Chains A and B, each alone.
Chain A
């Protein structure tokens, strides 16, 4: 079974989903990501889904759940590069991913994570 690689970039984790997600793969990603957040003491997670063309309700819920889990562990999740068709599908399915931050591309997503991290450091 192939695995989705998780890269570490400074205080953030980077996940690029480049294959069609099936349910088992999604569950494995959820396990790996949560344990990596704890292990690496990550402060943010960036999930790039710019090559994801097909999405279902399970996938949408999973993204939302991952975001809620990482937030509980102290890391914000930002989903970047969603295709218009995928966005329309998720909205039609009634999933608005309240827990997830979104950005147009990886660059802007990184900027968002950095600014949120700085804001939370200042608040401390």
Chain B
């Protein structure tokens, strides 16, 4: 925008706000990216009206092109909360960004009418609007992604927590059913929760069941060995159970050995062994 020549955009927005809102809504409703199943039209109308109001205020300021300034603060906050809520609703990034980009069409039409005879002014105004809306669109997409990543991270953490339960199966006998791949960070959590339970319950025997571990390679075996070694240092015996035939074959082919650690095919075998270690016996009741 050349200095001394006032932009017509605030004027247009102030004069025909209602019409622009209607056209913009029509644009959004016609877009194939609209998800009527996720967002009712009334909500969309309310959000659009609010955004247009904030946008009008911000574009009328002295620095319309720099969305990082304080003037645009409210617009940024609004878009941030909008993309967060849409991320939670299950919208895709392009669906969310379309909300901002579809405002271009109604504004361009208005500008063309106002600057019909002045090509240079029209170009400058279009440039301003495009720059601002593009920046806002990118900002929306970025916030959307950050919100999405937050959701994924939280789910990952919950999965880690949920997938390492330590169960007390008998007085002095713990079981740790492992489900999912064992990587270094999970091994750490598994080890910590197992050792903590050993201390809390005073158990001398722990059964690590790997039925739910999809594959055992040298790295996974090493992680298991570390856990067993740490439990031994605290004074507890470990039994590894739930080794499937395929896993036993793969382990022998890979040359992975569990050394002198007791391994059993099923949790039942391991429990029987644990009973023997603890000096317990299970007998059928006489009829």
Contact A109 B235 (CB under 8 A): yes
Contact A87 B204 (CB under 8 A): no
Q: CA of A91 to CA of B192 in the docked complex: distance in angstroms?
A: 12
Contact A102 B233 (CB under 8 A): yes
Could you tell me which residues of chain B, from 224 to 250, have a CB within 8 Å of some CB in chain A? 226, 229-236
Task: Indicate whether A88 reaches chain B with its CB closer than 8 angstroms.
Answer: yes
Chain A residues with Cβ below 8 Å from B231 are 87
Q: CA of A86 to CA of B231 in the docked complex: distance in angstroms?
A: 11
Q: CA of A84 to CA of B192 in the docked complex: distance in angstroms?
A: 7
Contact A96 B229 (CB under 8 A): yes
Task: Indicate whether B212 reaches chain A with its CB closer than 8 angstroms.
Answer: no
Task: Give the distance to chain B from A97, nearest Cβ to Cβ, in Å.
Answer: 6
Task: Please classify the interface of chain A as helix (H, G, I), strand (E, B), loop, or mixed, using the class held by over half of its residues.
Answer: mixed
Chain A residues with Cβ below 8 Å from B198 are 84, 104
Chain A residues with Cβ below 8 Å from B230 are 84, 87-88, 90-91
B contacts with A, residue count (CB < 8 A): 19
The answer to whether residues A104 and B204 also contact, given A84-B192, A87-B195, A88-B191 and a CB cut-off of 8 A, is yes
Contact B202 A105 (CB under 8 A): yes
Contact B234 A87 (CB under 8 A): yes
Contact B192 A88 (CB under 8 A): yes
Contact A82 B204 (CB under 8 A): no
Chain B residues with Cβ below 8 Å from A109 are 235
Interface residues of A (CB under 8 A from B): 79-84, 86-88, 90-92, 96-97, 102-105, 108-109
Contacts A/B (CB < 8 Å), 29 sampled:
A79-B235, A80-B235, A81-B235, A82-B233, A83-B199, A84-B195, A84-B230, A84-B234, A86-B233, A87-B195, A87-B230, A87-B234, A88-B192, A88-B195, A90-B230, A90-B233, A91-B226, A91-B229, A91-B230, A96-B232, A96-B233, A102-B233, A102-B234, A102-B235, A104-B203, A104-B234, A104-B235, A108-B204, A108-B235
Given contacts A82-B233, A104-B202, 10 further A-B contacts (CB under 8 A): A79-B235, A84-B196, A86-B233, A88-B230, A91-B226, A91-B230, A97-B233, A104-B204, A104-B236, A105-B235
